[in-house]
C-alpha cells in the first residue's frame, strides 16, 4: 500500500521525465551526423595557438567519434544536468501538505512513520534508477539506426554512476520535504545544494568530485571508476534518508 501510494504521488512526473530523457537521448544519437559535418568543416590549423585553441582541438577530436560524441554531449552534459533536476523533483513535495497527498490516510496505515518515509524515498530512488538506465539502454539500441555502435556495458556504467550521484539530490530533497510543507522550497534548496557541490568540485582536481564521478569521465578515458566518490554518495543518501525518517518520527501531528 505504501509503495502504491508513493507511485501515485509521483507517477506523472516520472513518466513525463522518462519520455523527455528518451527523446533527448535519441536526439543526441541522430544529431551525430550533423556534428560530424561541422567537425569536418573545421581545420585544426585555422584555430591558431594558445590554451583556447588547444581546448577546441581536444573537443573537435572528442566529437569526431560516436563514442566520444555521446559521452561528451549526453552522459557528461545533458544527462547529468537533467538527472540532478529530476532527482530534486522526485524527492520534493511534502508528505504533510494538504494538497491531495493524503497525510491522514498515510498516518492511519499499519506502518511506522519511519517505514512510511523510507518507502517514499525508496520509490523515488527506484524511479530515478529507471530514469538513469532506460535512456542509456535506448541509445545503445537505436545507435545502429544511425549507422553507429555504442557498447552496452559502457552505457550501463555511465548510467549507474549518474544514478548514484543523482540519488544524493533525491535524498536531500526528501529530507527538506519533511521540513517544509510546500514543493518549491525543497526543490530550490536542493538545486542550491547542487550548485554548492559543483563549486566545491571546481576547487578539486579535474578528475575528482561528485560530478566527475557522475559523468564517468575517468571511465571514458582510462577505464576506471571513482569508487571513493560513489561510496561517499551512497553513505550520504543513507544519512539523508535516515534524517528524514527521524524528522517524520519526531513531528507532532
pLDDT, tens only, 151-185: 999 999 999 999 999 999 999 999 998 888 788 89
Return d(Cα 136, Cα 158) in angstroms, integer: 8
Residue 64: φ, ψ to 5°: -75, -15
174 secondary structure, DSSP code: H
| Averaged pLDDT, 46-53 | 60
pLDDT of residue 100: 38
pTM beyond 0.85, yes or no: yes
pLDDT of residue 196: 92
Distance of CA 78 to the CA centre of its chain: 10
Environment class of 135 (CB within 10 Å of its CB; exposed 0-12, middle 13-18, buried 19+): buried
3-state class of 1 per DSSP? coil
The three-state DSSP-derived secondary structure of 35-65 is HHHHHHHCCHHHHCCCHHHHHHHHHHHHHCC
The string of pLDDT tens digits covering residues 190-199 is 999 999 998 8
Return d(Cα 27, Cα 173) in angstroms, integer: 29
Spatial contact of 160 and 132, defined as CB atoms under 8 Å apart: yes
Cβ-Cβ contacts under 8 Å for 234 (sequence gap 6 or more): 164
Domain regions of the chain by residue span? 2-30+66-250
Amino acid at each position: 500500500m505504501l509503495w502504491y501510494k508513493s507511485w501515485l504521488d509521483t507517477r506523472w512526473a516520472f513518466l513525463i521525465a522518462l519520455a523527455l530523457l528518451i527523446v533527448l537521448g535519441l536526439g543526441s544519437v541522430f544529431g551525430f551526423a550533423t556534428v560530424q559535418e561541422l567537425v569536418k568543416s573545421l581545420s585544426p590549423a585555422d584555430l591558431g595557438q594558445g590554451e583556447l585553441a588547444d581546448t577546441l582541438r581536444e573537443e573537435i577530436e572528442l566529437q569526431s567519434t560516436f563514442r566520444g560524441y555521446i559521452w561528451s554531449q549526453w552522459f557528461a552534459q545533458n544527462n547529468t544536468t537533467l538527472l540532478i533536476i529530476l532527482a530534486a523533483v522526485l524527492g520534493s513535495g511534502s508528505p504533510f501538505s494538504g494538497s491531495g497527498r493524503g497525510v491522514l490516510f498515510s498516518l492511519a496505515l499499519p506502518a511506522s512513520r519511519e517505514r512510511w518515509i523510507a518507502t517514499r524515498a525508496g520509490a523515488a530512488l527506484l524511479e530515478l534508477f529507471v530514469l538513469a538506465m532506460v535512456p542509456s539502454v535506448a541509445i545503445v539500441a537505436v545507435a545502429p539506426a544511425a549507422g553507429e555502435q555504442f557498447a552496452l556495458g559502457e552505457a550501463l556504467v555511465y548510467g549507474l554512476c549518474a544514478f548514484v550521484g543523482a540519488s544524493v539530490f533525491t535524498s536531500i530533497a526528501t529530507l527538506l520535504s519533511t521540513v517544509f510543507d510546500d514543493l518549491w522550497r525543497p526543490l530550490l534548496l536542493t538545486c542550491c545544494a547542487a550548485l554548492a557541490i559543483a563549486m566545491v568540485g571546481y576547487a578539486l582536481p579535474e578528475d575528482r568530485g561528485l560530478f566527475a564521478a557522475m559523468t564517468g569521465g575517468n571511465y571514458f578515458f582510462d577505464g576506471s571508476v571513482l569508487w571513493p566518490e560513489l561510496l561517499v554518495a551512497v553513505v550520504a543518501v543513507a544519512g539523508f534518508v535516515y534524517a528524514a525518517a527521524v524528522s517524520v518520527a519526531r513531528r507532532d501531528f
